[in-house]
Chains A and B, each alone.
Chain A
């Protein structure tokens, strides 16, 4: 069975500093990987996704993530954060061969708080 672990529940950071939000997954099969962002009282918005190909994936709002198969990780990074990046970030995994039982497996989320 697949599982997703977001190693940090909360990440405080100062504005313009770099940030890394960590995500590890366990799966015995190939997976697709996603990062979603949720702003307060809103639904979820896709930041980026890895399906295949280049392991470095660039997303919206200056975020990027690197898929590391050997370490089963998909960490999210941004070189310089803004106050507006304050939100909840979710990592999710979808097994590519799960047939009709396909569904996203979610991490518990990381709360990013950007301080001035």
Chain B
């Protein structure tokens, strides 16, 4: 149980285009989902916290107009990287916290984004 999927697992796009990444909790409901960014050999950097049915809460320094987050249902959150640039190339990981859970987060397998 407690499986989180991400799609796509990797994507290559051209500079200036937008890319959407989906995060789904497959066998549980997740009121809260999190989006992280991870640079090579580094820890996770929390980008935003997404609550179902409300606006996402962005961490300081994260551009909300560039990284659009939508959490339309209890099992799906999406991250759209708008007007992507090479510096947006990174590993993006989502996680989901089970409704009523103890704080444990279940992680997706990550999405490798490369912007050329």
Residues 1-41 of B at the A interface (beta carbon under 8 Å): 4, 6, 34, 41
Q: What are the interface flags for A3-46 relative to B under an 8 Å C-beta threshold, 1 for contact and 0 otherwise? A: 00000000000000000000000000000101010000111111
Number of A-B residue pairs, CB cutoff 8 Å, is: 47
Residues 39-60 of A at the B interface (beta carbon under 8 Å): 41-46, 49, 51
Please give the distance in Å from B102's CB to the nearest CB on chain A.
5
B77 at the interface (CB under 8 A from A): no
Please give the distance in Å from B24's CB to the nearest CB on chain A.
13
Look across to chain A and name the residue whose beta carbon is closest to the beta carbon of B109.
A43
The main secondary structure of chain B at its interface with chain A is: strand
B93 touches A103 (CB 8 A): no
Which one of B43-51, B64-72, B81-89 is at the interface?
A: B43-51
Q: How large is the interface on B (under 10, 10 to 19, 20 to 34, 35 or more residues)?
A: 20 to 34
In the complex with contacts A44-B107, A45-B107, A106-B49 CB distance below 8 A: no
Taking CB atoms, residues of chain B closer than 8 Å to A41 are: 110, 112
B109 touches A108 (CB 8 A): no
In the complex with contacts A32-B102, A103-B49, A42-B110 CB distance below 8 A: yes
Taking CB atoms, residues of chain B closer than 8 Å to A109 are: 42-43
B105 at the interface (CB under 8 A from A): yes
Interface of B toward A, CB cutoff 8 Å: 4, 6, 34, 41-44, 46, 49, 93, 95, 102-110, 112
Interface of A toward B, CB cutoff 8 Å: 32, 34, 36, 41-46, 49, 51, 90, 94, 96, 102-104, 106-109, 111
Besides A103-B49, A106-B44, 7 new A-B residue pairs in contact (Cβ under 8 A), listed by A number = A41-B110, A44-B95, A46-B104, A49-B102, A51-B102, A102-B103, A104-B34
